[in-house]
Amino acid sequence: MASVILNKTRKKRLEQAHPWVYHNEIDSVEGEVEPGNLVQIFDHRRKFLATGYYNPASQITVRVVSYRQLEMMDVEFFTERFKECLDHRERFVGGDAYRLVYGEADFLPGLIVDRFADVLVVQLLTLGMDKCREAIVEALVKVLQPSAIYERSDVPVREMEGLEQVKGSLYGESPRYVTILENGLKIKVDIEQGQKTGYFFDQRENRASIEPLMTGWVEEAGLS
C-alpha cells in the first residue's frame, strides 16, 4: 500500500482527531496509488498516524477512515461499520427514521445514509466512497434488509472530487414518497425531489418543541 508522508511544519490536527489531510500538508507520496484507494499516513519521522483514502484532485487529499492500519474497504468493512452505526442509533434515537451514517462522525467520510422505515437513501460525496458503491449497497442489505435503496448524489460538492452528480435506484423498487412516524406524527418524505436526502433529521427536536404552540390550532382555524 502506498504511503503519504506529511511535512514537518504542518499543524498536528490529525493527532487531535481531525479526519482530513490537506494537499499542502503532504511532503511526498511513496508508492503507486490509484485515486480513491487507501493509503497509510505517516508523519515526517515515519510514525504511523492513520489510514485514509486518497484523491489528488481534491484539496482535501486524504480522508481518514481508521486510526489503525487497514488493507481495504470491502463488504466486511462496511458491514462492521454499519452494525456499529445501527447499534448507536437504536440506543439513542429509536424508531425507524433517522440518519444511520453521518460521514466523518462515523469514520465513513463522504458517506451519508438516511433511513426512512424500510427504504434507505444514500449520498456518495467523494471519490473514495463512490468507488465502494457496490460494497456499500451489499453491506446495507446485509445489515438492514431494506426494501429499497435510493441514491441522492445529485450535489455540487461531488464535482470538487472530479465526479458527476447522479441519482437513482441502487436496490429494489424505490417509491418516490415514504411515510415515516416522528413525534407521533405521520410525515410523507419525498426521497426523489426533496432537498438533499429528502428530510432534515437534525431538526427532530425543534419540530417536537413546537407541539405546545400547535395545540388547538386546527380547531381555532376552523379546520376540524
User: Regarding predicted confidence, which is higher, 214 or 145?
Assistant: 145
- Report all structural domains of the chain as residue ranges with CATH numbers, in order of start: 3-66 (2.30.130.10), 75-205 (3.30.750.80)
Task: Report residue 118 as a C-alpha cell.
Answer: 424500510
Query: Is residue 193 very low, low, confident or very high in pLDDT (cuts 50, 70, 90)?
Result: confident
pLDDT digits (tens, 9 = 90+) for 135-179: 999 999 999 999 999 999 999 999 989 999 999 999 999 888 888
Q: Residue 218 — φ and ψ, nearest 5°?
A: -65, -45
Describe the crossing of helices 75-92 and 133-144 by its angle, rounded to 10 degrees.
Answer: 50
Q: What is the pLDDT of residue 175?
A: 87
pLDDT digits (tens, 9 = 90+) for 2-15: 999 999 999 999 99
How many Cα atoms sit within 13 Å of 109 on the Cβ side? 23
Give the span between the Cα atoms of 172 and 215, in whole angstroms. 40
Residue 209 has pLDDT above 70, yes or no: no
- 40 - beta bridge partners? 3, 51
pLDDT digits (tens, 9 = 90+) for 9-38: 999 999 999 999 999 999 999 999 999 999
Q: What is the pLDDT of residue 179?
A: 83
Distances (CA, A) of 209 to 128, 179, 189, 206: 39, 21, 20, 5
CB 100 within 8 A of CB 111: no
Query: Is residue 191 very low, low, confident or very high in pLDDT (cuts 50, 70, 90)?
Result: confident
Lowest mean pLDDT among 84-98, 111-125, 189-203: 189-203
Q: What is the pLDDT of residue 213?
A: 62
Other Cβ atoms closer than 10 A to 211: 11
Residue 129 has pLDDT above 60, yes or no: yes
pLDDT digits (tens, 9 = 90+) for 59-78: 999 999 999 999 999 999 99
Q: What is the pLDDT of residue 11?
A: 93
User: Regarding predicted confidence, which is higher, 36 or 224?
Assistant: 36
User: Strand, coil or helix: what is 53?
Assistant: strand
Q: What is the pLDDT of residue 84?
A: 96
Q: What is the pLDDT of residue 224?
A: 47
User: Strand, coil or helix: what is 46?
Assistant: coil
